[in-house]
Every structure is written in C-alpha cells, then in structure tokens.
Structure 1
Amino acid sequence: MAQIDNPIIGFLEEDARRLHHPYDNALVISVRIRDYNIHHILVDNGSSADILYYLAFQQMRIERERLVLTNAPLVRFRGIIVYPLDAVTLLVTVGDCPQQITKDITFFVVDCSSTYNAILG
C-alpha cells in the first residue's frame, strides 16, 4: 500500500469537464478508517476540523482509552458552539490501489446528531 507524507486531495475544473452538474451538491464520499469502510463522509473544504460523530465512533468499536483530552470548541452553522468529547487519531485510506493515500488524521469526536458519519475539513 503506497503512503505519501503530505498528500493533497483536490479536484480541478477539468475533472468535471464532461459531467453535467446543474446542482451545487455537497461532496460526500466513502473512505476506509481503521478496518472499516465508512460511508456518508462530508468533504468540507470550508471547515478547519476533521470530525467523527460519536455514533460512528461507537459503531467502529474503538477503545475509549484511545481518546485524547481536548478543550477546543467548534463553531457550527448559525454560530452554535459544540464542545467535542475528545480527539482520536486514526489511520484513514482514501482511494483505490494504485491511486490511494493513507494518512493518520486526528478527529474531534462530537456527540450530536448528523446525517454524516464524519466530516473531512
């Protein structure tokens, strides 16, 4: 499995050249986190944080001992402040061989409802 130190994941206008896209929909992807294929992950380049929702954290059966104390507040839409439970660093793989990137990402674990399992900021 190839590993790149500082990968850049991006999309150019030429990537969408032959696509018909009359909507401005969110980019929602699936990635591999630890040993799990996680679906419904929002890619939000306007966010400065990577977030893992607590329900997904529980379903992945990650030991609570892996959580690291954090006190960084997160500001949601409409200015609502959310305090993460803690943070956890997990191995994330995006893409398929031979074009894939594997990297450790530190997620803030947030206990609130969402239609997504995670947000990659």
Structure 2
Amino acid sequence: MTTGSSKKARKTYLRMVQNIQLTGSMPKIAWKECLIIGFSKEDARRLHHPHNDALVISIRVGDYNVHHVFGGTRVFPLGAVTLSVTVGDYPQQITKDVTFLVVVCSSAYNAILRRPTLNSWKVATSTYHLIIKFPTNYGVGELRGDQMAARKCYIAILEMEDHQQTMCIEE
C-alpha cells in the first residue's frame, strides 16, 4: 500500500493503524492460504557467528542476475524505471514488476529494495539468519543473503572517497 504524499493520505494511513490496534481486527483481505514462515538453526548454517552483516542478496532483474542488493545513502533520483524482478528458486519463486529509482552516487550496491516492495511480497526477514522468506503458490520461498558479499560491500563503502555509509532516497 502506498501512503501518498498528501497530508490527508498520511492521516488516513495513520488512522488505519490506530483502528487495527484499538479493535484488534484488520479489514478483510483475500488470502490464498495462510503459510507459516519461520526460521530455524538450519537457516543459520554456513554463516560466521556472531555477525552484524547487512542482508545483501542477489535477484533476477529481467534477464540479468543482479548482485549486491541492499539499502541505505541520501540521494536524489534522476527518474524511475519499472523492471520485472524474480526472487527465489523455481517453483517457490515470485516475479513482480518493481519500480526502481535511478540515481547517480557512489555505492557498493547495485540496487535497493525498499520496504514497500518487500511488504508487497509479504516477506519475513531475519538478519541473524541472513535470509528473506516469502509466501508463494508452491509454499515458502527463500532468498539467502551472501555474507561474503556483505563484507566486501562494507569494505568497499569504507574505502570510498566520500565515505557515505547510508542511503535514503528522497522522492
């Protein structure tokens, strides 16, 4: 759901949340099936612990595999482009059109997935397990983070001349 940029749209969005908290009920939403998405010790396999690594993933955008996807530096967009994105492995995958903002900045990351996109996919994330899970028509899909890529991105950010370490896109 997009909240809109008008004052009225923001107030309506806030009232929806307040109503759910007061009444304990949500507006009726059509659910295909209620899947339980959880995390286990097995999900944390092959990770160095303890860690504070970013959740850096690879996704399929159109016909290309895009690595070093994350979020984080304040920049101003030049424009936007909508591309088809596929996450997960067949058959537990989803393909959706995602609008990316086009920016010019120094970054170790190639793309940023924002909360509205992740929320539309109904994802559950675990930074401890470095994994994203999401419902599909064929059960729970998953997208594993790449701990080595996360550390390489972190080092690359530290070595950048401008030393920007967070990225918030202003629309």
Query: TM-score under structure 2 normalisation?
Result: 0.39
Alpha-carbon separation, structure 2, partners of 1:17 and 1:94: 17
Q: Is 2:80 aligned against 1:87?
A: yes
Name the structure 2 match of 1:118. 111
Identity of aligned residues (%): 58
User: Do the aligned partners of residues 87 and 15 (structure 1) sit closer, same or farther apart at CA in structure 2, a change above 3 Å counting?
Assistant: farther
Query: TM-score under structure 1 normalisation?
Result: 0.54
Q: Is 2:55 aligned against 1:27?
A: yes
Q: Alpha-carbon deviation of 1:99?
A: 0.8
After TM superposition, the structure 1 = structure 2 runs for residues 20-99 of structure 1, keeping only pairs within 5 Å, are 21-42=49-70, 44=71, 76=73, 81-99=74-92
Q: Alpha-carbon deviation of 1:92?
A: 0.2
Q: Alpha-carbon deviation of 1:16?
A: 5.8
Alpha-carbon separation, structure 2, partners of 1:31 and 1:91: 10
Structure in which a larger fraction of residues adopt helix: 2
Report the secondary structure of 1:82's partner residue: coil
Name the structure 2 match of 1:101. 94
Q: Alpha-carbon deviation of 1:83?
A: 1.3
Structure in which a larger fraction of residues adopt strand: 1
Question: Which 5+ residue runs of structure 1 have no aligned equivalent?
Answer: 1-10, 48-75
> Highest relative contact order (Cα 8 Å, sep 6+), 1 or 2?
1
Name the structure 1 match of 2:137. none
Question: Which 5+ residue runs of structure 2 have no aligned equivalent?
Answer: 1-36, 115-171
Report the secondary structure of 2:56's partner residue: strand
CA deviation vs aligned residue, 1:47-81 (integer Å, no higher than 9, x gap): 7xxxxxxxxxxxxxxxxxxxxxxxxxxxx3xxxx5
Matched residue type, 1:39 = H
